[in-house]
Structure 1
Amino acid sequence: MTRDGAVEVNETKQTAERISKREQETDLQKTPEQQAAQDAAQLTTPIPEAAPFPSAPFTASKADTGTAERIMGHLDAAHTRKASKKAVQKAQAEMAAETKSSRLKFTEEELSAPELEKYIRKSDKAADRLDAARAAIPKEKKLVKTRTFDEATGKGKNRLHFEEKDKPPGFKEKANPLSRPTQEAGVFIHNKIHSVEKDNSGVEGAHKSEELAERGAKYGARKLKQGYRSHKLKPYREAAKAEKAAFKANVDFQYHKALHDNPQLKSNPVSRFWQKRQIKKQYAKEARNTAKGIKSAAEKTGKAAKKAAEQTRKAAAFVARHPAGVGVAVGALLLFILIMSGLSSCGAMFSGVMNGVLGTSYTSEDSDLVATENNYAAKESELQRKIDNIESEYPGYDEYRYDLANIGHNPHELASYLTALLQTYTPQSAQSEINRVFDMQYTLTLTPETEIRYRTETRTGSYTVTDPETGETSTETYEYEVEVPYEYYILNVSLTNKPISSIAQEQLTPEQFEMYGVYISTSGNKPLLFGGGSPDTGASEDLSGVQFVNGTRSGNTALVELAKTQAGNVGGYPYWSWYGFNSRVEWCACFVSWCYGQAGLSEPRFAACQSQGVAWFTSHGQWGARGYENIAPGDAIFFDWDLDGSADHVGLVIGTDGSRVYTVEGNSGDACKIKSYALDYACIKGYGLMNWN
């Protein structure tokens, strides 16, 4: 049975006759001219030696004979295509192996040279490591389509086959369709809890714990994903590392081969350096561009090495023949470079100074910086108010136990963090971020606790006594003590303060944290913005001969004498560390608060002049504007250096002689000093009036 129908073959007579009544099919893929040429070629084609017929000629009809020979031709073509396909696959595999090979081919002369033995061994070892690293890269099978042509028919065919290739590095994130709805539901639930948690300390504590657990779970999941990706990318890193080592080993071999072939280069260090540089560039270029792999690159690099060696030898000979001329040319070149660098140094210096100042300054407007700081200080004041009212808001406890960290922050730390993260910001754009930072900095926990305690109670008992003589009975009473258990209710109040510097290290990227450090070290080139002290670098003033005029308000001379003994302290460590800061801050307000604390006062206590100090005195009705005449020793005096309406510095009033006010100030040029000012001095913002009665 054939494609054209049933064919009867007589092996004795060697005849073949088509016996099917069905019309023969026409090959519609060929033109009539192609079909006729193929039939003619098949008729003239001899029967293959492997055919099972004797040598007698066929007696079949011309059509049937053509059909039988066409069948044999198709079979022979199929065998040819199969063999051709295998040969192509073998050639592709050999070409891929040759392309991926990292091994140099050494000649017998190179292998027998003792000077090159060490570098040949290193090159082979590096090639072995590279081949092993490439073999460790995960593989994947790719379906590849190839186009082949039948030379006999002139027809093209597409064939599909699988090829094993290196799996490219990378990860495809699988989108979770429930991710977005889950996030929105979580945000909605958290917002609902936030709106009611202030009314119930238990709910608030549980919510804070749940949020902390969520952050920990997200952090852990992120670290696991990073570790998984790092593990998956390890074979690719190892392959890149091995490829770099093989490249270096092959370049070293070519370099020492060039020295072996050109001994005159060994005595000239400049020639050796230039030679190795040229070999490395040529080898990298050929290894990158050639399609024949490392072997062709090595051959071309060797030729380039010989050429470079010849050029170097000619250059050395020219220098040897004209030493004076070369010396003059080198001197003129050095002089030109010196003159040009001198001319450009002034412009570069000015540009560098300007770029340094701009790159280390806060980028937001001063008003926005101060307003944002005031918003953060207001949140701290509200937190302090909440702690002060805990016993009235949570009544019914037998005892309140407090473990409270200091409430306060370095304004420059907050401004540096926000600038590094947001660049330029306003109070509105930074509000969500300061809320987040505040929640990370302060953690207030209220934990109810019940203890079983015992108290001694006196009770009365009775017993009956019978008189043995009369038989009469009487009742006697007595007292006794018993230990009675009862429940003792305790509310534990805990406040932790995490420094903003620690928050910045956790939340910022390495580049952002580097900029944060720059802003901190320079205070954004605005050290006095948040009440940073006084720029006065002069010495303390002498109070001898000053006649103080006493007012009607009583002051605290003991406090003033204590403050005066601190004159000369530099850096303010005793004051800002007492306040609770872990590193130096602008400490003029810390000094005033420290003095009040040494006098036994818990408030006013402030670290920022405008947002905390002035706010406290005005809210308590204890503020006097500039020109207030009845100031007393121990009052606070606030200064506004740039006259923008915001206090920049604070000190303590020693007294007045009627025309000048005398002060003791912290952080005046980074030191404690005694100073004096005219009572109508424009930079005096006002006075915080202390009530010592």
Structure 2
Amino acid sequence: MKQYKPRDKITQKMTRDGLVEVNEAQQTAERISRREQDADFQKTPEQQAAQDAAVQLNPLSSGTSPPHAPGLAMKPDTGTAEQVFEHIDGRHTRKAAKKAARKAQQEATARTKSSRLQFTDEERATPELETYIKKFDKAADRLDAAKAAIPKKKTLAAERTFDEATGRGKTRLHFEEKEKPMPGKPAKNPLSRPAQEAGIFVHNKIHSVEKDNSGVEGAHKSEEAAERLGKYTTRKIKQGYRSHKLKPYRAAAKAEKAAANANVNFQYHKALTNNPQLASNPVSRLWQKQQIKRQYAKAARAGGAKGIRGAAENVRRTAKKTAEKTRQTAAFVARHPAGVIIAIAALLLFIMVFAGLSSCSSMFSGTLNGVLGTSYTSEDSDLVAVENAYVSKENELQSRIDNIERDYPGYDEYRYDLAAIGHNPHELASYLTALLQTYTPESAQAELNRVFDKQYTLTITETVEIRYRTETSTDEDGNTTTEEVPYEYYILNVKLTNKPISSLAPELLTPEQLEMFRVYLETSGNKPLIFGGGSPDGTPSEDLSGVDFVNGTRPGNTAVVDIAKAQVGNVGGYPYWSWYGFNSRVEWCACFVSWCYNQMGKSEPRFAACQSQGIPWFQSHGQWGDRSYPNIAPGDAIFFDWDLDGSADHVGIVIGTDGSRVYTVEGNSGDACKVKSYSLDYACIKGYGLMNWN
């Protein structure tokens, strides 16, 4: 009878040993994967090799078959024996690599403790070194404890190993314990600056109305005090928290320094023990000690304990050379005692003379440094150019206010609440010098814009009021009716506030810069006349009781002269610059003249600057006379150009003239009101503002 054989049905399946080809008809399986077969790591390499060899000879005897095809016979896998031995060699290689890595890590750990020396039995048995060894051991123990107290963190590290047998690499991950780095400064909160600006805005709003209500003023002051206390408390808490976090690092640094000192001290005394010639005399011993300590300290910084021990031989050689030089020097002194005494006496005389000269130079340099430290550091031309640039911005602001009704037409009413436009030039220069040190118009432009925006605030708001007007109407029958008709009344409110630069400085400058700002402002940068407006004259006011004045052809006004003379002796000019509208002291000579004219009922001229405001007013009204004008009269304004640069620096009021001299009353003459006199041909007289009194 013919027997039929089933057709071979070949399938491929993936197992943990790789790709296996299974013959379903013959119930056999063959591993066809080229991947290295994994070994059973629960068995020793010898047991695994014996099992693999048995499988090679009889695939079915091992009783192991693919889990997906129980009972299937595995065909012999060619090259299995070679792969087994390669696996055994690879395992031994990996074990050796791990052992080498552990040894390297232990060596690295040992190298980190560079401050601890390993003393020999001979060193410990030396009585002269016993004390210093104990001190070093204590210092090293404290250093180890301090380093152990530093916060640690575990980081995930990747280690790359290579199998030489197979030529394949593997990456293993493990955790390493490292010291946390010293924390830096805490990051600033990006919202702190906007919050500060908002707080300043709110406080300024309250400041503008608190003078009208004492209760609001008291509550506001209490609230500001609470804010300052809260900020101070928060700052101290943050500082304390940061100091607590840095305490382990500070302790480790202190302990490391102490261990280094103990290390150097031990090495020094060891050198003394090994080289007795170093203790020949006290001077030599002191000098040698300093030399050896410096050399050991340098070695410690360069190479730790190993470097210090390596420097011992160098120190020994240095000690021998130094001792030999000391003996040679002593022999020379013994041979030439008179010459040595003369040389010492000459040296002492030179030191005395040099000390006297140096004390004088110190006094001079101290005075010079004091002057330089309180002076503006920028060039005079840059100081004036920056001041003119700021004045130009103020002029633009004034022009904008003057054209409000042109730029905002159609309103029924315009209401103005305007602060005076002006600033103290020395406040601006002191602020910029404290902040920027030396500046030019280009480098100061951004800061000028910033200060200007904070000093001046122009607010334009619209208000609509419902008002009523009476309208009369007549109907067809001729009856007249009167009624109140509502309508909208449009008002444009224009408000300008002016904060002095001195009030802005505390919020814009650091404490150190603020201190310098106040110094510069106090001394006017040692250039009080650079912006004009004042006289440095420190002499007393003159007595005119015996002077007979010769009146000119122009009638004068002795009443305004009497008002001006009554102010003689005033210091600081507060009544005049505060009347003008300034919140803090400015160069006030022009304010004084304007105030005197105002006391006589004159609303003009009104000026706070000589060159940019006073002279242009007189010239535009045809009331200007040059320095040779003969018909000056009491009450006229006299302008001075102290540095003869063509720009007026100072102004006063003419009392009269006797034909050869002119007599004046001046404000801000040495920061006081004084009576002065000058020759009519005095070069610093720029000209006269001629007043009309009718």
TM range (shorter): 0.5 to 0.7
One-letter identity of the residue aligned with 1:645: G
1:267-666 equivalences under 5 Å are: 275=289, 278-279=292-293, 282-283=296-297, 285-288=299-302, 290=303, 295-296=305-306, 299=309, 356=372, 360-362=377-379, 364-365=381-382, 368-369=385-386, 371-379=388-396, 381-382=398-399, 396=413, 407-418=421-432, 421=436, 423-426=438-441, 433-445=447-459, 495-504=496-505, 506-507=507-508, 520=521, 523=524, 526-551=527-552, 555-569=556-570, 585-596=586-597, 604-618=605-619, 622-666=623-667
- Matched residues in 2 for 1:78 and 1:336: separation? 83
Secondary structure at 2:546 match in 1: coil
Deviations 1:116-142 (A, max 9, x none): 767754553344233332x34x66445
Instruction: Tell me the C-alpha RMSD between the 2 structures.
Output: 6.3
In the alignment, is the contact (CA less than 8 A) between 1:363 and 1:424 conserved in 2? no
- Residues 299 and 308 of structure 2 are in contact (CA less than 8 Å); yes or no, is this contact kept in structure 1? no
1:61-103 Cα distance to aligned partner (Å, 9 max, x none): xxx9995653342222222122123223322432343344476
Mapping of residues 157-236 of structure 1, within 5 Å: 164=176
Counterpart of 1:81, as a letter, is T
User: How far apart are the structure 1 equivalents of 2:124 and 2:410?
Assistant: 92
Paired letter, 2:148: D
Decide which of 89, 93, 97 is 1:81's aligned counterpart.
93
Residue of structure 1 equivalent to 2:116: 104
User: In 1, distance between residues paired with 2:676 and 2:256?
Assistant: 72
- Alignment partners' CA distance in 2, 1:241 and 1:77: 51
Match of 1:252 among 249, 261, 270: 261
Deviation at 1:688, TM superposition (A): 3.0
Q: Which runs of 5+ in 1 are unaligned?
A: 7-18, 28-46, 172-225, 453-486
The Cα shift of 1:675 comes to 2.0
Q: Distance in 1 between matches of 2:111 and 2:438?
A: 50
Q: d(CA) in 2 for partners of 1:540 and 1:284?
A: 70
**Residues 153-196 of structure 1: CA deviation (Å, up to 9, x unaligned):** 6969685656746687899xxxxxxxxxxxxxxxxxxxxxxxxx
Task: Decide whether the 8 Å contact of 2:529 with 2:649 is kept in 1.
Answer: yes
Counterpart residue number, 1:461: none
Picking from 129, 148, 168, the partner of 1:131 is 148
Q: CA 1:302/1:50 → structure 2, altered by over 3 Å: closer, same or farther?
A: farther
The higher-RCO structure (CA 8 Å, 6+ apart) is 1
Mapped partners of 2:107, 2:688: distance in 1: 89
* 1:688 and 2:689 are equivalent in the alignment: yes
What is the Cα deviation at residue 586 of structure 1? 3.7
Amino acid aligned to 1:78: G
Which deviations, in whole Å up to 9, do the C-alpha atoms of 1:373-422 show, x marking residues without a partner?
5414524654885899999997558xx795x6554322123234456549
> Counterpart of 1:70?
82
**Residue 651 of structure 1: CA displacement?**
0.9
The answer on whether the counterparts of 2:378 and 2:438 sit within 8 Å (CA) in structure 1 is: no
| Corresponding residue SS for 1:652 | strand
**Partner secondary structure for residue 125 of structure 1:** helix
Deviations 1:229-284 (A, max 9, x none): 9999999966764453133121232355457766998x969967974785466346
Q: What secondary structure sits across from 1:633 in the alignment?
A: coil
TM-score (norm 2): 0.59
Secondary structure at the aligned position of 1:286 is classed as helix
Q: Separation in 2 of the partners of 1:230 and 1:139?
A: 27
The answer to whether the Cα contact below 8 Å between 1:610 and 1:647 also exists between their aligned partners in 2 is yes
User: Contact between 1:360 and 1:525, CA under 8 Å: does it hold in 2?
Assistant: no
SS in 2 for 1:77: helix
Q: Distance in 1 between matches of 2:651 and 2:556?
A: 18
Mapped to 1, the partners of 2:607 and 2:377 lie a distance apart of 28
Q: What is the identity, as a one-letter code, of the residue corresponding to 1:286?
A: A
Matched to 1:434, the amino acid is: L
Alpha-carbon distance between aligned partners in 2 of 1:681 and 1:607, rounded to the nearest angstrom: 24
Please tell me the residue identity of whatever aligns with 2:85.
G
Shift of 1:435: 3.8
Q: 631-640 or 535-544: which moved more?
A: 535-544
On the 8 A contact 2:31/2:77 being kept in 1, the answer is: no
Instruction: Report the CA distance shift for 1:127/1:619 in structure 2 as closer, same or farther (over 3 A).
Output: farther
Check conservation: 1:275, 1:308, Cα contact below 8 A: no
**Distance 1:159-1:84 versus aligned 2 partners, 3 A rule:** farther
The alpha carbon displacement at 1:556 in A equals: 4.3
Residue 215 of structure 1 is matched in structure 2 by none
Unpaired stretches in structure 2, ≥5 consecutive residues = 1-14, 21-27, 37-43, 58-75, 185-234, 467-487
CA shift at 1:440, angstroms? 0.8
How far did residue 596 of structure 1 move? 4.4
Give runs of aligned pairs for residues 17-32 of structure 1, distance below 5 A.
none
Question: How far apart, in 2, do the equivalents of 1:394 and 1:337 lie?
Answer: 86
Greater CA drift, 359-368 or 71-80: 359-368
**SS class of match (1:79):** helix
